[in-house]
Amino acid sequence: MFKNYYEVRDWVEEFIPLVYGKEELGLARIRYFLKLLGNPEKKFKSIHVAGTSGKGSTAYYTVKLLQHVTRNKKHEAKIGLSISPHLVDIRERMQIFTGETKRQRDKEGLMPISRFLRLFGEIKPVVEKIQKEKPEFSPSYFEILVAAFFLYFAQEKVDWAVVEVGLGGRLDATNVLLPEVSVITNIGLDHTEILGKTIERIAFEKAGIIKKGVPVVTGCPSTSPRRTSFARGRSGSSAPLSSRGAYEVIAEEARKRKAPLITIDTQNARLANKLLALAAVKMLMVDRSSLAGEMRDELLAIDDKRFGSLPGRLEEIEPGVILDGAHNPQKIKFLINWLKEKTAVSITLVLAFKKGKDWKRMVDLLLEKLPVGKVIATQFYATTDMGRYQAVAPEEIAGRILGK
């Protein structure tokens, strides 16, 4: 049916809306779609990861720890990983790791194209059936991709799938999962036009992934400003007011659903996302102390340099040329701190931003905190999950910079 990758990509992109709004969210369409596919999301165990920043790295570290936990067992576990959005190739959203051999997230390690074409060859007729018989349930671009990786993981019989939320949580298509553990990394102001204008409202949307009786791990907020520890219950009084408000929302949703809440102090922790992954995997273990030391050693051994070289994540595309996809003030602050450790020389920034992001604040932070010698304002033309032509005009960026 599909002859090559580009035919699949072009077909799926036909389902991207011209204008992305709240109506694009919801679970009715994905539930109907998955029912026609035989409910593949129910055929593997999962860990569900939400949050404003750090979801992808937390999911990645969780996969690595699951590999470690299952290393000595006779059955070599297969672990699925879904991240969102993809940066180069749709197949980034549906990866499988087996045992200690990581399928590297590059073109050599992605799902074979023949398998990719077969997968979407199964998906397309189902979508067309829905369009013909129940057009009101026609799936969106993101829902098609979610259904695809759920079906892929089920067909490949993964033991675990670590799934990153696409947008928000409560109404995100991935929220049909009933995971073994839920993770909420942190809360910040992002996608405010869809999720809400306040930290508390965004926290409510993220907390929507909490399920009845299912443990939830969160790094929002820290339990202490000075140390990293595992803690249960309430937040420390020293936490920032906005974070404390977000935490209270998460804690209330956990109480309503009788879900054990594990709060990790990540305020000053350089290993913040690793600690969240460690806590999530520990919740799966009957004897949570048996591998604690080994798992911490495994965390420290994870090759951050390798992770940092993944597409769009502190990727060094040439010596001294770094590509990073930071797209909110929280991520920009992390990028700034990372750059400060690496260089003290004048930096040239090449900037492009997506509409709807707090790009003015991001520009201000970069100019205020880094030794910037030159700025090149540009734009991207790639299609995004939320539509085409989503880039801020370079003239607007330049105007902000010159106005400083």
Q: What is the pLDDT of residues 282-325, one digit of tens each?
A: 888 755 555 555 666 666 666 554 444 456 778 888 888 988 88
DSSP state, 257? T
Q: Are 220 and 176 in contact (CB under 8 A)?
A: no
**pLDDT confidence band for 376 (50 / 70 / 90):** very high
Poorest-confidence range of 138-147, 266-275, 378-387? 266-275
> Does 315 fall in a domain?
no
Q: Is 158 part of any domain?
A: yes
- Joined tokens for residue 301: 């051994």
Single out the residue in 284, 307, 330 at which a domain terminates. 307
Give the pLDDT confidence score for residue 287 in this predicted structure: 53
DSSP assignment of 313-330, as one string? SSEEEETTEEE----SHH
Read off the pLDDT of residues 172-181 as tens digits, 9 standing for 90 and up.
999 999 999 9
Same domain for 216 and 97: yes
Per-residue confidence (pLDDT) for residue 365, from 0 to 100: 94
24 and 50 part of one domain: yes
Query: 152 and 74, same structural domain?
Result: yes
Across all residues in the chain, what is the average pLDDT? 83
Q: Which of 247, 275, 307 is the last residue of a domain?
A: 307
Q: Are residues 199 and 241 in the same domain?
A: yes
Considering the domain architecture, whether residues 273 and 356 belong to the same structural domain is answered as no
Same domain, yes or no, for 210 and 256? yes
Task: Give the per-residue pLDDT at 235.
Answer: 36
- The number of distinct structural domains making up the chain is 2
Note the pLDDT of residue 404: 65
pTM summary value: 0.83
The three-state secondary structure class of 146 is helix
Residues 254 and 382 in one domain: no
| Residue 62 within any structural domain of the chain | yes
User: Which CATH number fits the domain that encloses residue 374?
Assistant: 3.90.190.20
Both tokens assigned to 191? 């996608």
**Domain carrying residue 173:** 5-307
Looking at residue 348, its amino acid is T
Strands 321-323 and 315-318: what pairing?
antiparallel
